[in-house]
Structure 1
Amino acid sequence: MADRQTFDSDSEDEMPPGWEERVTTDGKVYYANHEAQKTQWFHPVTGKKKMVKGELPYGWERNITDDGTVFYVDHINQKTTYTDPRLAFAEEVKDNPLDFRQKFDASSSALQVLMGRDLTGKYAIITGANSGIGFETARSLALHGATVVMACRDLESAKRGKVTILNELAQAKVETMHIDLASLNSVKAFADKYIQTGWPLHILILNAGVFGIGFSMTEDNLEQTFQVNHLAHFYLTRLLVNVLMESAPARVIVVSSESHRMSTLSERDLFEDRVSPPKAGNFWHFDAYNNSKLCNVLFANELNSRLLPHGVVANSLHPGNMMSSGMPRHWWLYRLLFALVRPFTKSMQQGASTTVYCAVAEELSNVGGLYFNNCCRCPPSKAAFSKSMAAALWSLSEKLIDSRERQRVQ
C-alpha cells in the first residue's frame, strides 16, 4: 500500500493527480496510485476509510463484459460509465455504529436525502399525501422507485397528485386509496382493502393531521383533533401490524410537531372517562393540537419498544415551522399569519426531508424511539420521555378502539 501524501486543493476529498477512486464488489472504497502502481484503503489526503452501501441508484444497472470489465448504465439518462455511481454517496467508515453525524439540515430537501437511493421493491403508505408535505413525501419516494400508496380523504385531489408524479416519471408506481381519519369505519375499510392486495408494507408514514379547528365530534363520538391526529393513526397501525412484521425490516414514521412541547396533557388525563364523550366547556383548539402532537411522540416511542424485536422501528419528527401547507385552512387569521411568514419558512420539499430521512436512512435501520428535527436527532419534551405516560396512552387508545369495534359488531 502506498504512503499518504498531501497537496493543495479546495476540497479535502479531491483526488491528487495520478490517483483514482474505486469500489470492490463488497462496497469497500479503495484508492489506486497509477504512478506508483499501488493501492490503499484510506484516502491519500484525508486518511479516511469509506464504503458504499445499498443497491445502485434508481435506473442504474451494472454489467460485465466478456473480459471482466465492469461498467454501469444509467437507463434514465441513457449514459454509460466505468465509475460506480455510488461513489458520489460513499460514507465514512465509523468506529462507533451509533455515531449519528448529521448529513442534512434545515435547508436539505427530500430529494437530496434520497440522492443515490433505489427504493425499487419497497412499499409505502402515506396518509394525507394529496397535498403539502405529504405529497412531496409521496413524490420523492415514487421518483426513487418505491411503490407509494397515497391514503387520502380527498380522493380526487390524490388522483391529481398521482397524475403530476406520473407526468414527471411515467414508470413511477403510485396508487390512490380512500381513507377518512375522522371515521374509524373508513380506517378499517382502508386496512382491509390494503391487506387484500397482498402487498408488503415497508414504510408506514402517518402524516395527515388537522390544526385550528373548533370543537367538533366525529361519528365515533370522539373529539376530532384527537381522533384524526392520533387515534385513527393508532388504529391504522394496529390493523396493519401483521403486514409490517411480515415485511420486516419495516418502519413507522409519525409526523409530530415542536408544538408537543407546549402540551398540557398529563397522565391523569389518559383515562376513557376524560376523553369519551368529549367535553366542549374548556376546549381550546391550540391546546388540543399540542396534546395530539405529544400523543404522536408517545405513540411512536411505545410502538418502537413493542415492535423492535419483530424488525419494525418507529420514530417521530417535526417537519418545520408554519409552512405554507393546508394546515391553517380552517381559520382566516391562521391563513393570513402563515402567508406572512411564508418567505421565511421551509418549502414543502424541505418540509418532507426529515420524514424521508427517517424512512430511508440506513443508520436508522435498527434504531427507533427517537425524535428528529431538521434531519437530526434531538431530545423531545420531558413528558415525551415518560414510559408510564406512553403506556397509559396505549392502554387508553386500545380501550377506545375496542369499545367502538364492539359497537360496530352489535
Structure 2
Amino acid sequence: MQDETAQRILITGGSSGIGLEASKQLTQRGHRLTLLCRTAERCQETVRTLSAESEEHIKAEGIAMNLTDLKSIETGCSTILQKNEPIDTLILNAGIQNVGIKEPRLTEQGIEETFCVNHLAHQLIAMRLLPLLIKSKKPRLVITSSEVHNPISGGGRVGLPATLGTLAGLKDQKSMAMLNGQNNFDADKAYKDSKLCNILMAKHIAIKLKQSGQEIPVVAWSPGLIIPQGSGGFFRTSRQQNPIGLAVFTFVARDLLRLTETVQKAGSLLAGLADRSIYEKNGFQYISNQLIRPGKHVFKETETSHEGNNEQLGEELWTLSEHLINQKLGETP
C-alpha cells in the first residue's frame, strides 16, 4: 500500500542485490521507477521480477545503459532527456568489486573498470541528468558509497588505504589504473578509492548546487558489508575469476565473524533514503550503516574520512573526470 506521494525515481544497480531489494519496496509503495540496466534484456527481466513480487500493477520501465561504456551511458541519458520529465530522486547505486585480480580490467574506452563503473559512469549520469532532477519540486540525490573509503574504519584498515593522493594517475592517463599514480595495481585499493570518489563527488555536487541557489538533499551512504547470493551483481567478476577466494571470504565475514548486513535490510535502508521525509534536509549528508558489534548495525549520520572532506580535491576530481569523459566521448570508434 502506498504511504508516500508517488515519485519518479531513477536507479542504477536496480537489477540485483540491494538495488533490486530497494526497487521492490519502492514500486510496492507506488513510485514510478526507471531502471538503468546493462542491457535491454536485463531491463525486461528486472521489470518482470518486480511485477512478480507485487499483487498490484507496478510502474516500472527499463533503459539500457552499460556502465562500462561511456557511449552507452550517453545514449541512455539522451533517451531520458528527450522525455524531458522531472526526476524526483536519482539513485546512483551500481557498483562492482573485482576481488583478487592481479591486473586491471579495462573498459571499452580503456578505463580501469572499477573506477569507470563506480565513479566515472555516475558522474556522467549526474552531469547529464541533474537538470531534470532540479526541475522536481522535491529533488533528491542518493549515492551509494562505503565505509572502506575511510582508512580508520574496520574495512578501511585492511590492506592499502583509500587515498587519491594528487590524482597523478588521472592526470597521467597512461597510469590511470590507480588514481594516485602508483605502479602496482591493487584491486582492493581501486575499490576503496572509487568509494572515496563517490563521497567527493556527492559533496562537490552539493556545494555547486548551493552556490547556484539550487540546493537539494545530497545523501552519500554506506550499506555495510553486503555479500549477495547468486552469480550476478556486485561480485559477479570475482565469482568468475576467484570463486574459491570469494567463498572463503564469504564464510569468514558472513558466517564466522557476522560482519555483514543482509541484502533485505540494506535494500530497505536505500528505499528509505529515496523517499522518506526524514532525509529531506538540503545539502550534503553522509549516513553509514555502522557495525557496532558482530551481528548488530546502527544507521546514522556520521563524518566522512579526512580526505573525503577535502573540497579542493573533490573539485579537481570532478574537473579531471569531466575532461576524461569528454575526451573519450569525442573519440571515434
Q: Do both proteins adopt the same fold according to a TM-score greater than 0.5, normalized to the shorter chain? A: yes
2:18 to 129, 133, 144: 133
Say which SS state the counterpart of residue 370 (structure 1) adopts. strand
Give the partner amino acid of 1:386.
Answer: N
Rate the CA distance shift 1:140–1:406 in 2: closer, same or farther, 3 A.
same
Give the partner amino acid of 1:300.
Answer: A
Give the partner amino acid of 1:197.
Answer: K
> Is 1:256 aligned to 2:141, yes or no?
no
Mapped to 2, the partners of 1:315 and 1:270 lie a distance apart of 28
Larger Rg: 1
Deviation at 1:279, TM superposition (A): 4.7
> Is 1:178 aligned to 2:67, yes or no?
no
Corresponding residue for 1:354?
269
> Is 1:401 aligned to 2:295, yes or no?
no
> Is 1:164 aligned to 2:66, yes or no?
no
* TM norm structure 1: 0.67
1:338 to 250, 254, 258: 250
- Native 8 Å contact 2:162 2:196 kept in 1: no
2:117 to 224, 228, 231: 228
- Native 8 Å contact 1:222 1:276 kept in 2: no
Rate the CA distance shift 1:279–1:172 in 2: closer, same or farther, 3 A.
closer
> Is 1:317 aligned to 2:317, yes or no?
no
- Native 8 Å contact 1:328 1:338 kept in 2: no
Structure 1's unaligned 5+ residue stretches are 1-56, 59-116
| Pairing of 1:250-289 with structure 2 (within 5 A) | 250-262=139-151, 263-269=161-167, 272-276=170-174, 278-279=176-177, 281-289=183-191
- Native 8 Å contact 1:127 1:152 kept in 2: yes
- Native 8 Å contact 1:244 1:312 kept in 2: no
Structure 2's unaligned 5+ residue stretches are 152-160, 290-298
- Native 8 Å contact 1:319 1:351 kept in 2: yes
Q: Moved runs in structure 1, 4+ residues, more than 4 A?
A: none
Give the partner amino acid of 1:327.
Answer: F
Mapped to 2, the partners of 1:395 and 1:274 lie a distance apart of 14
Mapped to 2, the partners of 1:347 and 1:398 lie a distance apart of 35
Higher relative contact order (CA 8 A, sep 6+): 2
Mapped to 2, the partners of 1:155 and 1:347 lie a distance apart of 28
Corresponding residue for 1:241?
130
Rate the CA distance shift 1:196–1:276 in 2: closer, same or farther, 3 A.
farther
Instruction: Name the count of aligned residue pairs.
Output: 294
Q: Indicate the percent of aligned positions where both proteins have the same amino acid.
A: 27
Deviation at 1:366, TM superposition (A): 3.2
Corresponding residue for 1:194?
80
The structure whose residues are more often helix, as a share, is 2
* Deviation sequence 1:139-164 (CA, Å, 0-9, x none): 11111011011111154344233223
* TM norm structure 2: 0.81
| Pairing of 1:5-404 with structure 2 (within 5 A) | 58=2, 117-120=3-6, 122-167=7-52, 168-212=54-98, 214=101, 215-262=104-151, 263-269=161-167, 272-276=170-174, 278-279=176-177, 281-308=183-210, 309-324=213-228, 326-329=233-236, 330=238, 331-332=242-243, 333-343=245-255, 344=258, 345-374=260-289, 375-404=299-328
Deviation at 1:399, TM superposition (A): 1.2
Deviation at 1:182, TM superposition (A): 0.7
